[in-house]
């Protein structure tokens, strides 16, 4: 019989077997990364909105408190999206004829709602309650990021379960004094750990990782 | 310039296992070390005749098995007691009796994988190309013929003297293995 | 080639040489042209494989509801078939591994396709745990992998044990089988006439040269693998039996299960080997290599394991009574006299009564009869799993939730489909790979002796 | 529209396969226009679009639904394959001007009332952003006291039923409201001259003061016009009985809290009839063995076994016609006079004598109540006995009637039919009800109806009657309209709407207004005007807030007792007696299209989706009828039985026979409300129409019937056919004597292992430790908890076929067990939710950890993690887990989505589900308490079942708080664990039953 394969076949064979291992490993790693990437989570991508509303302008610029618009954040699961009325409180006076605000005026005139595109959207089987988090000293910016520097609103964090669990497992890393919950320029102190410990004790913050805490 | 084909060694063909074994012993006695004997089925004696060492495979398998065991146990413990301990039917987080089956399977898996790949590695497989294949009649090595190949890498190898030596073992035929 | 002999002692007919053995076996794959019969059988098998595909598609699109499962009978045909297939697989490993360790030389001519059978049976078995879930597309959650939910499998669940046991079993069997094939692949490489054939077989043979060094490592590896496969094969059906033994359901929660399941597995496995061996040796004229001795021995193994299984049944019933537990006590009564009594009694008939014929040498030497008995045992072992699973579930603790199960068309089509898949794979195997280990056969020939 | 609503919308709601196929022509416009205030439609459209990309047409086109379902399945599968699928971008749509009181994401509760047979039950309705989602009882309302019945619980589904009549039609074509008003105008001007001689109004029983006033106005305006009433759930007999006893119509109101000995003359007072909820609570309150002295004793003489009979300490099965004789025997026994031939055997006589003795020993502290289907004479006798025993003023008070215009309704209907046939009727307004289907067959109502020139029908559905009328007016559901109504004690409640009419429905008041001079008036104005509400409406606001008008209950009324004891009901012809009853689930058929009620296993029989010819086992045997469990489903779902012809007074109805233990021999009970032809997709075709043989002279029961086997067999969907306990002690019961002598006797044979025997250390449960105790002694098996659970937890309806396969989805079931002889067994009800075992067998076997224990000891079920191996269910000894074998949820009928509870995940195909102790309520309460820096108070969390229960049989609470109600109950000796010997350590435990047996009668 004569040779079926060329010399190089030996090297090729071994390399391919050896390489396969790394290839598969790499592939899995990539998958994991993709799952966490903004492409999956939509994090850090601004949504198309009917009105070019700028949180930066309203929060940083005019220093409006979160609760002025998101009224129910302290006592409901839902923080609340301001009704057109709220916009008109000011914009009937200010920029009352700016073309950008036409949709708002139109909505107010015709009584049809403005249709915003949802930015923070949890799956339907997840039950998040704003009021309890706010009451336990979880600041707005902790989850929503520096809203005051977002000309167009985007989702700061992945909102994936591992991200939720991070805080539910060790809240002391994130909690702040109730007084500071709504301040957008709150900076975590050097001794966050110590402060955290203290607040966790003071606010009786529990580390809730039971399934039914969020899933029902 | 085209250099003359190097020689991998000399290949002697035999009809039956007995003569191959004898030939091998003789060659070994002669002092040849870099040689290999080929047979269509395993022949215990050949291994001794060649005077090659015992296989290191068992050790590899043992290590593989132990790694599998530890890996399995660690995974189970870490998952159920460390990273996300959940109260499952009132059982303790580390309910070791329940961890035995998986740990066991992991052991076997580790051992088996290391066994197969260890064997291939020790045999230098895969090696689709090998000089001996250059000899057409070598195809019979996987049917009913027995071969002894003394390789040129052997210090005592000398194309003529070695061929002469092999002739004395009354083989069917002696052929040169081009490299 | 030599005339077929009806010798009962030899494992290989006289008059064979290295050459004849090699040629005859490899010829089936290389030179012999594919018979009409093969095509016929293959297309039938293929048809049922398609039935399987259709059934599974419908299952995924419509839901488990197309089966007859309900509450209380959450498991029925699905898990029955799973256990049955896994059990069948066991014979292969047993023959190739355990008998190797026990130096039972007669195994050599049947171990190759017994191993193949193992692989195919396991792949059929694997289908059920996967598709019996309500959301099969999420079945990968049963494997431990880091994920964004920080959630892992629940290692106390026998189902997870199954996942590990079965996948390990599949992997090891495949390796074992492949390792066994390497020398023969080399033979095929060297004997194949077609360029493609030589290339493919060459690739698979990985450059096997049959050097003494190779053979030494190879033998060691093969022995070690056998040593590993033996406890594995025992563990697999033990773990499968845990699915039931670990539960609290009367009729499932039984300590005798592990040994009794393993015995049952071997029982059904050997029956299946026999069911396959008898026609194959006839069709491919392999009577020289698969001799009466083989059939006899297998019959004996069946007899023994069959009796162990029978003992299992007895113990089950006895303990149920002895435990004086009202729930346990009810189970045998319900099996003997309840709505599924027919299934129970026919399983007793198939698994215990009929196989007793094997005590008779006449029967053991009667090939057609052996064939029939082996099929009966296969049926019986399927019924056993059905009875264990369904009759325990359908009347459990609270009479208020007692119910009944009966299979739908889709239950049947899925089951038949897997049989189709099994046969398809088997047909491909006999067509493209040496169904008997040539190298090992050579070693068994008288001329293989090295005389000092 | 905010996220919670959107979340609700992005889920499905309870709805069966059939329901989804509703092909009623529903243009999106009509649907949306009426919902605008509630939910901005574009968002909804958008949402639908996202939910089913490119399938939007499929939703509007019901025909394509089957294939669409498949696609859904496929797309779900696809979703799975691509692991964590990206969610489609969703819209979020705020209000333009947000309502004052509304906090987005927080439900609001409004008080209103629901009427049946004219009698109101006060309700509190939970509303999420304007969508009523859940109904609870109004604690301030005498007819509810916080409890509800199945009909109230299921009303939400009725509201969103896509099969409801949705447009005003004249002979089939859609017309505007003005057109109807015009038509009436024309007709009325014609009637002016005749003083309305040709004008007839047919209503159901009316207790609404406003409506009564409206009708009287019209009658004043048209003196010769007539007002007829017909209510198939009619209480003619009770009224007749009152007339016989007192010579006038009076309402008898009972006080079971004062009664030591109670006799029911075929009365199911615990679960049907006016005041049932209140009575059940009073009754149950007197059943506590803790103070054995105050335990009441209930005697029941009844034919068809009922909840009341099941609770009775002594039950005597009698043919309906024998009750009267028995009642007379009791009178005789009390008066010491010679018992006339009551046709009772010696055993019965002995029973009666003992009863009479017991009654006379409790003068003034006893109570006798007669069943509505029993003839007037029996009611009279009940009054007589109560009088003899001096119960008036103590356990019984007589008041003016709740109905505004009491009358013999069957006579009223007969008169109407006569007039119609005589051609005297030109205009007939049928306001509510479905007489064409419910009228006694011998009156030939529908034939007569055709003789009327102008026929208008106001009803929720376009039903059998609507079909025979030119004008079909879609009725506004009570959750959509203003009205008022009286409770069983006369207390007035204002009925206020929770949502604008979904389909342009009109309330009965608005229709009546068209007969007046201000036809366009809204019900709101009409009701307010009736109660003279001016500028200052503070009182009005209070009424609305409380749900009751203070001090409107009737006081006791002096009656002249002059019974006509000579009056007897003629003996029925020999042969089999047929007794007609309202169906326990669908009543007279008005709820026949309500999936929750259709799939609700009826008390005792445990049948769903069907009525049957119910007979005693002996009778069945005599007829050589055999019924057996089918091989599919079996005892748990599918019973094959004989189809029989029921011949009665020259008419035949064909139904399936079913045996009921404890049913008297030689008589058959048939339930009304089935065999509908135009009742909607769920109602049509289910069961047989019993009213097709029911005649006006014997509405309750009659003799001379025959039952003939047809040789055919048919399947009944029965969820529990095996009623014997097999000596497994699921229910523990002893007599009062035994209990008093040795309370431990109730724990006899208890094999629960002591806590110390365990390999593993106990899991610690600090903080809350939730648990539940269910008192079998109190449970009356009324099913309110089952429907309550279904409504609260978005539990799907799966249809008869799936039920027959043994796949019903109820998280809470009421197991029914018998003890003793089959001809008259003791019956026990055992509600079985998830036991929340501390050593949960289900959790251990789940491969993906989809079910695990919460820190508070709940057996959590994580639907989104479940892969559906069903192993947990196999390993659950209580079989309380439910599996979505198919896509049971209706994901595409828009109206149904509105009714879902936004706080509970809507489960998809292939997922296991089960009772969670209403964890959504627990979490809500915990969050509230946390915000207030306090602990959750005992009773602050009520599970849906607990809240619905009229008998207070279910108690939920914190086991770590020794003072909590549940802890106290679990401390009782009666407390036991179901299958405790398995050491599953269930958090739900039961309190054994104690029967207050009369020693003279023994067991």
B116's tokens: 């197969």
Task: Provide, as residue numbers in chain A, all residues whose Cβ is less than 8 Å from the Cβ of D86.
Answer: 40, 42
Give the separation between CA D671 and CA D659, rounded to whole angstroms: 14
Q: What is the pLDDT of residue D21?
A: 35
Task: Give the mean model confidence (pLDDT) for residues C3-7.
Answer: 41
Q: What is the pLDDT of residue B5?
A: 57
Per residue in C240-252, pLDDT (tens digit) is: 999 999 999 999 9
Nearest to B109 among C171, C213, C447 (CB): C171
- Residue whose tokens read 């950008």: A100
Give the separation between CA D268 and CA D304, rounded to whole angstroms: 10
Query: CB-based contact (8 Å) between B83 and chain D?
Result: no
Beta-ladder partners of C157: none
Residues C179/B116, Cβ–Cβ less than 8 Å = yes
pLDDT bucket at C452, cuts 50 / 70 / 90: low
Nearest to A5 among C146, C150, C202 (CB): C202
Please report the DSSP string for D601-621 in residue order.
PPTTT-EES---EEE-HHHHH
* pLDDT at residue A150 tops 60: yes
Task: Give the mean model confidence (pLDDT) for residues D43-66.
Answer: 38
Which residue of chain D is at minimal alpha-carbon distance from A38? Answer: D86
* pLDDT at residue D25 tops 60: no
Task: Provide, as residue numbers in chain A, all residues whose Cβ is less than 8 Å from the Cβ of B133.
Answer: 1-4
Query: CB-based contact (8 Å) between D848 and chain B?
Result: no
> Which chains would you list as touching A if contact means 3+ CB atom pairs under 8 Å?
B, C, D
Per residue in B64-85, pLDDT (tens digit) is: 999 999 999 999 999 999 999 9
CB spacing of A124 vs D7 below 8 angstroms: yes
Selected for mutation to probe chain B from C450, C451, C452 (highest B CB count within 10 Å) is: C450
Q: How many residues does chain A have?
A: 216
CA distance B98 to chain D (A): 10
Q: What is the pLDDT of residue D12?
A: 34
CB spacing of B46 vs C17 below 8 angstroms: no
CA atoms within 13 Å, Cβ hemisphere of C356: 6
Per residue in D498-548, pLDDT (tens digit) is: 999 998 899 999 999 999 888 889 999 999 999 998 888 899 999 999 999
Give the separation between CA D892 and CA D913, rounded to whole angstroms: 21
Task: Give the mean model confidence (pLDDT) for residues D406-421.
Answer: 94
3-state helix, strand, coil in chain A (%, to 5): 50, 0, 45
pLDDT along chain B (179 residues), means of 10: 65 86 86 85 83 88 95 94 92 91 95 93 87 84 85 84 85 83
Closest CA to B86 of D844, A100, D178: D844
Task: Provide, as residue numbers in chain C, all residues whose Cβ is less than 8 Å from the Cβ of D73.
Answer: 60-63
CB spacing of C248 vs D877 below 8 angstroms: yes
pLDDT bucket at D36, cuts 50 / 70 / 90: very low
CA distance B3 to chain C (A): 27
Residues C92/C114, Cβ–Cβ less than 8 Å = yes
CB spacing of D105 vs A210 below 8 angstroms: no
Sign of CA dihedral C353, C359, C361, C365: positive
D891's tokens: 């994901």
Give the separation between CA C133 and CA D294, rounded to whole angstroms: 55
Residues D38/D131, Cβ–Cβ less than 8 Å = yes
A85's tokens: 């009325």
CA distance C30 to chain B (A): 14
> Which chains would you list as touching B if contact means 3+ CB atom pairs under 8 Å?
A, C, D
Q: Decide: residue B126, CB within 10 A, 0-12 exposed, 13-18 middle, 19+ buried.
A: buried
Task: Provide, as residue numbers in chain A, all residues whose Cβ is less than 8 Å from the Cβ of C204.
Answer: none
Nearest to D853 among B88, B92, B95 (CB): B88
Q: What is the pLDDT of residue B40?
A: 86
Work out how many CB contacts closer than 8 A connect B with D: 34
Residues D646/D656, Cβ–Cβ less than 8 Å = no
Beta-ladder partners of D454: D427
Nearest to D910 among C134, C246, C404 (CB): C134
Please report the DSSP string for C415-445 in residue order.
HHHHHHHHHHHHHHHHHHS-SS-HHHHHHHS
Task: Give the mean model confidence (pLDDT) for residues C88-109.
Answer: 82
Neighbours of D615 (CB within 10 A): 26
Per residue in D121-149, pLDDT (tens digit) is: 999 999 998 899 999 999 999 999 999 99
| B79: DSSP letter | I
Give the separation between CA A73 and CA A67, rounded to whole angstroms: 7
The mean predicted confidence, pLDDT, of chain C is: 89
Strands D226-229 and D199-203, by their bridges, are parallel
CB spacing of B144 vs C218 below 8 angstroms: no
Query: CB-based contact (8 Å) between D862 and chain C?
Result: no
Nearest to C146 among A4, A5, A32 (CB): A32
Strands D297-302 and D226-229, by their bridges, are unpaired
Residues C432/C185, Cβ–Cβ less than 8 Å = no
Residues B167/B56, Cβ–Cβ less than 8 Å = no
Phi/psi at D173 (nearest 5 deg)? -100, 145
CA quadruple D539, D540, D545, D546: dihedral, nearest 10: 70
| C9: DSSP letter | S
Alpha-carbon distances, residue D737 vs C355, D205, D295, D729, D745 (angstroms): 62, 46, 12, 20, 10
**ipTM of the assembly?**
0.91
Task: Provide, as residue numbers in chain A, all residues whose Cβ is less than 8 Å from the Cβ of B81.
Answer: none
Which residue of chain A is at minimal alpha-carbon distance from C194? Answer: A4
Provide the percentage of residues in chain D whose pLDDT is more than 90: 75
Give the start-end residues of each E strand in B125-168: 146-151
CB spacing of C404 vs D632 below 8 angstroms: yes
Task: Give the mean model confidence (pLDDT) for residues C73-92.
Answer: 92
CA distance A71 to chain D (A): 9
Task: Provide, as residue numbers in chain B, all residues whose Cβ is less than 8 Å from the Cβ of D849.
Answer: 86, 88
Give the separation between CA C213 and CA D31, rounded to whole angstroms: 84
Per residue in D435-484, pLDDT (tens digit) is: 999 999 999 999 999 999 999 999 999 999 999 999 999 999 999 999 99
Query: CB-based contact (8 Å) between B138 and chain A?
Result: yes
Nearest to C150 among A4, A35, A162 (CB): A162
Calculate ∠ Cα C246-C250-C251, nearest 5°: 85
Strands D119-128 and D131-137, by their bridges, are antiparallel
Higher pLDDT among residues B19 and D270, named by residue: D270
Q: What is the pLDDT of residue D73?
A: 43
Give the start-end residues of each E strand in A77-178: 116-117
Q: What is the pTM of this model?
A: 0.90
Which residue of chain C is at minimal alpha-carbon distance from D982? Answer: C248
> Which chains would you list as touching C if contact means 3+ CB atom pairs under 8 Å?
A, B, D
Query: CB-based contact (8 Å) between A13 and chain C?
Result: yes
CA distance A6 to chain B (A): 6
CA distance B76 to chain D (A): 13
D533's tokens: 């509400």
Residues 6+ apart with CB under 8 A from C213: B36, B47, B50, B52, B123
Residues 6+ apart with CB under 8 A from C142: C153, C159, C160, C163, D847, D848, D867
Alpha-carbon distances, residue A61 vs A90, A153, A185 (angstroms): 14, 15, 13
pLDDT bucket at C90, cuts 50 / 70 / 90: confident
Sign of CA dihedral D401, D404, D410, D415: positive
Please report the DSSP string for D631-685 in residue order.
SSBTTTEEEEEEEEEEEETTEEEEEEEEE-TTPPTTEEEEESS-SBSSS-TTTBT
Neighbours of D660 (CB within 10 A): 19
Residue B75 belongs to what H/E stretch?
helix B57-77
Q: What is the pLDDT of residue D37?
A: 35
Selected for mutation to probe chain D from C389, C398, C409 (highest D CB count within 10 Å) is: C398
Residues 6+ apart with CB under 8 A from C32: none
Using beta carbons and an 8 Å cutoff, which residues of C are at the interface with A? 145-151, 189-190, 198-199, 202, 206-207
* pLDDT at residue C15 tops 90: no
For chain A positions 149-168, those within 8 Å of chain C (CB to CB) are 158, 160-162, 165
A42's tokens: 């939509």
Residue D116 belongs to what H/E stretch?
strand D108-116
Closest CA to A175 of A140, A146, A210: A140
Give the start-end residues of each E strand in D47-101: 91-92
Neighbours of A179 (CB within 10 A): 9
pLDDT bucket at A2, cuts 50 / 70 / 90: low
Q: Decide: residue D223, CB within 10 A, 0-12 exposed, 13-18 middle, 19+ buried.
A: exposed
Nearest to A5 among B86, B128, B135 (CB): B128
Task: Provide, as residue numbers in chain D, all residues whose Cβ is less than 8 Å from the Cβ of A91.
Answer: none
Nearest to C154 among D77, D816, D848 (CB): D848
Neighbours of C67 (CB within 10 A): 23
Alpha-carbon distances, residue D258 vs B142, D202, D364, D396, D544 (angstroms): 103, 39, 9, 9, 32
| D935: DSSP letter | P
Q: What is the pLDDT of residue D85?
A: 54
Selected for mutation to probe chain B from D767, D849, D854 (highest B CB count within 10 Å) is: D849
* pLDDT at residue D296 tops 50: yes
Question: Under DSSP, is residue B150 helix (H, G, I), strand (E, B) or coil?
Answer: strand
Phi/psi at C129 (nearest 5 deg)? -55, -35
CA distance C157 to chain A (A): 18
Nearest to D96 among A83, A116, A216 (CB): A83
């Amino acid at each position: 019989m004569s040779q079926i394969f060329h010399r190089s076949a030996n090297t090729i064979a071994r390399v391919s077997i050896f390489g396969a291992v790394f290839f598969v490993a790499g592939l899995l790693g990539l998958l994991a990364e993709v799952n966490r990437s903004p492409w999956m989570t939509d994090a850090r991508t601004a949504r198309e909105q009917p009105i070019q509303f700028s949180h930066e302008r309203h929060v940083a610029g005019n220093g409006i408190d979160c609760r002025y618009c998101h009224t129910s954040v302290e006592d409901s699961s839902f923080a609340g999206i301001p009704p057109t009325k709220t916009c008109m409180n000011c914009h009937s006076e200010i920029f009352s004829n700016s073309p950008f605000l036409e949709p708002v005026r139109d909505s107010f005139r015709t009584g049809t709602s403005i249709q915003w595109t949802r930015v923070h959207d949890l799956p339907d089987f997840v039950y998040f309650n704003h009021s309890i988090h706010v009451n336990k000293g979880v600041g707005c910016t902790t989850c929503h990021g520096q809203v005051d520097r977002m000309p167009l609103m985007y989702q700061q964090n992945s909102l994936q379960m591992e991200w939720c669990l991070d805080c539910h497992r060790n809240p002391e890393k994130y909690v702040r004094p109730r007084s500071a919950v709504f301040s957008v320029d709150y900076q975590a102190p050097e001794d966050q750990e110590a402060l955290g410990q203290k607040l966790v004790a003071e606010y009786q913050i529990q580390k809730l990782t039971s399934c039914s805490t969020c899933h029902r | 310039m085209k250099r003359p084909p190097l020689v991998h060694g000399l290949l002697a063909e035999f009809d039956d296992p007995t003569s191959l074994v004898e030939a091998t012993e003789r060659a070994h006695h002669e002092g040849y070390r870099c040689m290999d004997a080929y047979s269509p089925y395993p022949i215990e004696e050949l291994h001794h005749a060649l005077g090659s060492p015992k296989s290191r495979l068992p050790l590899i398998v043992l290590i593989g098995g132990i790694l599998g065991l530890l890996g399995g146990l660690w995974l189970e413990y870490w998952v159920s007691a460390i990273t996300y301990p959940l109260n499952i039917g009132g059982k303790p987080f580390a309910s070791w009796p329940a961890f035995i089956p998986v740990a066991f399977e992991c052991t076997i898996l580790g051992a088996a994988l290391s066994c197969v790949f260890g064997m291939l590695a020790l045999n230098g497989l895969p090696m689709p190309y090998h000089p001996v294949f250059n000899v057409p009649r070598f195809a019979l090595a996987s049917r009913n013929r027995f071969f002894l190949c003394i390789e040129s890498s052997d210090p005592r190898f000398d194309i003529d003297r070695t061929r002469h030596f092999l002739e004395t073992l009354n083989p069917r035929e002696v052929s040169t293995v081009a490299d | 080639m030599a005339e077929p002999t009806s010798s009962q002692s030899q494992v290989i007919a006289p008059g064979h040489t290295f050459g004849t053995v090699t040629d005859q076996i490899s010829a089936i794959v290389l030179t012999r042209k594919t018979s009409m019969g093969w095509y016929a059988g293959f297309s039938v098998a293929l048809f049922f494989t398609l039935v399987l595909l259709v059934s599974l598609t419908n299952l995924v699109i419509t839901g488990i509801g197309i089966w007859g499962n309900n509450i209380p009978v959450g498991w029925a045909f699905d898990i029955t078939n799973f256990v049955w297939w896994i059990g069948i697989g066991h014979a292969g490993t047993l023959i190739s591994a355990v008998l190797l360790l026990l130096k039972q030389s007669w195994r050599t001519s049947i171990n190759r396709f017994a191993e193949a059978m193992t692989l195919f049976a396991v792949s059929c078995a694997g289908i059920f745990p996967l598709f019996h879930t309500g959301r099969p597309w999420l079945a990968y959650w049963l494997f431990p992998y880091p994920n964004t939910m920080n959630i892992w499998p629940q290692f106390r669940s026998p189902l997870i044990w199954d996942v590990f046991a079965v996948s390990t079993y599949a992997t090891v069997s495949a390796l074992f089988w492949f390792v066994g094939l390497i020398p023969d692949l080399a033979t095929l490489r060297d004997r194949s006439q077609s360029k493609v054939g030589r290339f493919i077989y060459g690739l698979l043979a990985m450059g096997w040269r049959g050097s003494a060094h190779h053979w030494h490592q190879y033998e060691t590896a093969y022995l070690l693998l056998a040593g590993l496969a033996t406890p594995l094969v025992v563990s697999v059906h033990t773990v499968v039996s845990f699915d039931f033994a670990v539960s609290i359901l009367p009729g499932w929660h039984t300590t005798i299960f592990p040994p009794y399941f393993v015995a049952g597995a071997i029982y059904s496995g050997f029956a299946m080997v026999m069911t396959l061996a008898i026609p194959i040796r006839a069709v491919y004229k392999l009577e020289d290599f698969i001799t009466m001795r083989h059939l006899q021995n297998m019959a004996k193994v069946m007899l023994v394991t069959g009796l162990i299984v029978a003992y299992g049944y007895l113990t089950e019933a006895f303990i149920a009574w002895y435990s004086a537990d009202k729930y346990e006590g009810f189970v045998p009564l319900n099996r003997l006299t309840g709505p599924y009594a027919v299934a129970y009694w026919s399983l007793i008939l198939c698994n215990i009564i009929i196989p007793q014929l094997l005590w008779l040498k006449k029967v053991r030497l009667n090939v057609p009869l052996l064939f029939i008995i082996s099929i009966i045992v296969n049926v019986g072992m399927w019924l056993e799993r059905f009875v264990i699973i369904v009759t325990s579930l359908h009347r459990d603790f609270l009479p208020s939730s007692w119910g009944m199960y009966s299979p739908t068309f889709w239950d049947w089509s899925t089951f038949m489909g897997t049989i189709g898949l099994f046969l398809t794979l088997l047909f491909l195997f006999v067509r493209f790979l040496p169904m008997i280990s040539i190298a090992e056969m050579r070693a068994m020939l008288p001329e293989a002796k090295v005389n000092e | 529209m905010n996220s919670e609503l959107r979340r609700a919308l992005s889920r499905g709601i309870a709805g069966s396969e059939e329901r989804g196929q509703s092909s009623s022509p529903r243009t999106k416009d009509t649907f949306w226009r009426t919902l605008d205030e509630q939910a901005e439609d574009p968002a909804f459209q958008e949402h639908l679009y996202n939910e089913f990309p490119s399938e939007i047409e499929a939703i509007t086109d019901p025909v394509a639904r089957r294939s669409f379902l498949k696609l859904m399945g496929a797309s779900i599968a696809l979703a799975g394959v691509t692991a964590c699928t990206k969610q489609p971008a969703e819209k979020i749509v705020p209000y333009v001007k947000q309502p004052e009181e509304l906090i987005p994401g927080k439900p609001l509760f409004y008080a209103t009332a629901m009427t049946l047979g004219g009698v109101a039950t006060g309700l509190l309705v939970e509303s999420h952003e304007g969508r009523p989602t859940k109904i609870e009882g109004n604690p301030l309302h005498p007819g509810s006291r916080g409890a509800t019945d199945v009909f109230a619980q299921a009303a939400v589904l009725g509201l969103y039923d896509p099969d409801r009549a949705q447009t005003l039609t004249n002979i089939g074509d859609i017309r505007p409201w003005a057109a109807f008003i015009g038509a009436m105008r024309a007709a009325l001007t014609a009637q002016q001259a005749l003083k309305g001689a040709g004008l007839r109004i047919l209503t159901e029983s009316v207790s609404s003061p406003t409506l009564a006033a409206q009708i009287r106005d019209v009658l004043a305006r048209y003196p010769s016009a007539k007002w007829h009433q017909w209510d198939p759930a009619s209480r003619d007999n009770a009224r007749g009985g009152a007339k016989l006893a007192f010579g006038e119509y009076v309402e008898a109101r009972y006080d079971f809290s004062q009664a030591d000995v109670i006799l029911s003359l075929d009365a199911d007072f615990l679960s049907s009839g006016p005041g049932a909820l209140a009575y059940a609570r009073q009754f149950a309150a007197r059943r506590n063995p803790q103070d054995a002295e105050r335990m009441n004793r209930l005697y029941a003489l009844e034919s068809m076994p009922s909840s009341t009979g099941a609770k009775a300490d002594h039950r005597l099965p009698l043919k309906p016609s024998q009750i009267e004789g028995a009642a007379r025997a009791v009178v005789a026994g009390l008066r010491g006079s010679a018992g006339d031939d009551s046709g009772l055997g010696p055993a019965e006589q002995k029973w009666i004598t003992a009863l009479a003795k017991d009654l006379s020993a409790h003068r003034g502290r006893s109570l006798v109540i007669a069943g509505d289907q029993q003839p007037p004479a029996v009611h009279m006798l009940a009054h007589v006995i109560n009088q003899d025993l001096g119960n008036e003023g103590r356990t019984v008070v007589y008041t003016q009637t709740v109905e505004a215009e009491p009358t013999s309704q069957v006579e009223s209907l007969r008169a109407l039919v006569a007039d119609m046939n005589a051609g005297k009727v030109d205009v007939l307004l049928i306001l509510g009800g479905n007489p064409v289907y419910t009228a006694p067959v011998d009156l030939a109502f529908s034939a007569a109806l055709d003789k009327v020139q102008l026929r208008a029908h106001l009803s929720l559905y376009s039903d059998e009657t609507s079909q025979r009328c030119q004008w079909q007016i879609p009725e506004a559901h009570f959750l959509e309209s203003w009205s008022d109504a009286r409770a069983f004690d006369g207390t007035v409640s204002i009925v206020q709407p929770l949502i604008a009419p979904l389909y342009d429905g009109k309330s009965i008041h608005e229709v009546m207004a068209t007969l007046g001079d201000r036809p366009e008036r809204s019900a709101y104005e009409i009701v307010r005007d009736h109660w003279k509400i001016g500028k200052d409406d503070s009182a009005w606001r209070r009424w609305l807030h409380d749900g009751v008008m203070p001090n409107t209950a009737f006081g006791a009324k002096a009656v002249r007792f002059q019974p006509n004891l000579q009056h007897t009901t003629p003996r029925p012809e020999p042969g089999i007696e047929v007794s007609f009853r309202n169906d326990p689930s669908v009543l007279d058929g008005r709820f026949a299209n309500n999936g929750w009620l259709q799939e609700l296993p009826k008390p005792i029989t445990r049948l769903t989706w069907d009525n049957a010819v119910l007979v005693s086992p002996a009778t069945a045997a005599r007829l050589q009828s055999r019924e057996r469990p089918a091989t599919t489903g079996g005892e748990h779902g599918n019973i094959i039985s004989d189809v029989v012809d029921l011949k009665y007074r020259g008419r035949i109805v064909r139904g399936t026979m079913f045996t009921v233990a404890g049913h008297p021999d030689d008589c058959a009970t048939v339930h009304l409300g089935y065999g509908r032809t135009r009742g909607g997709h769920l109602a049509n075709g289910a069961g047989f129409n019993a009213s097709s043989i029911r005649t006006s002279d014997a509405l309750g029961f009659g003799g001379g019937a025959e039952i003939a086997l047809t040789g055919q067999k048919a399947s009944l969907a029965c969820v529990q056919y095996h009623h014997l306990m097999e000596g497994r002690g699921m229910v523990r019961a002893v007599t009062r004597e035994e209990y008093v002598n040795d309370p431990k006797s109730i724990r006899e044979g208890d094999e629960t292992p002591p806590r110390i025997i365990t390999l593993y250390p106990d899991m610690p449960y600090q903080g809350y430790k939730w648990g539940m105790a269910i008192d079998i002694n109190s449970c009356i098996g009324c099913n309110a908890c089952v429907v309550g659970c279904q409504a609260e937890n978005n539990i799907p309806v799966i249809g008869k076929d799936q039920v027959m396969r043994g796949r019903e989805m109820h998280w809470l079931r009421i197991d029914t067990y018998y003890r003793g002889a089959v001809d008259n067994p003791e019956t026990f009800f055992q509600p079985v939710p998830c036991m929340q075992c501390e050593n949960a067998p289900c959790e251990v076997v789940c491969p993906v950890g989809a079910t695990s224990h919460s820190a508070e000891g709940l057996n959590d079920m994580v639907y989104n993690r479940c892969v559906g191996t069903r192993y947990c269910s196999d390993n659950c000894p209580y079989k309380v887990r439910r599996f979505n074998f198919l896509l049971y949820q209706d994901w595409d009928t828009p109206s149904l989505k509105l009714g879902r509870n936004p706080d509970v995940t809507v489960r998809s195909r292939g997922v296991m589900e089960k009772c969670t102790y209403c964890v959504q309520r627990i979490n809500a309460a915990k969050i509230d308490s946390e915000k207030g820096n306090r602990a959750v108070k005992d009773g602050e969390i009520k599970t849906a079942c607990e809240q619905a229960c009229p008998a207070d049989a279910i108690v939920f609470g914190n086991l770590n708080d020794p003072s909590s109600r549940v802890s106290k109950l679990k401390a009782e000796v009666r407390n036991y664990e179901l299958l405790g010997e398995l050491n599953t350590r269930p958090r739900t435990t039961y309190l054994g039953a104690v029967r207050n047996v009369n020693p003279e009668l023994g067991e």
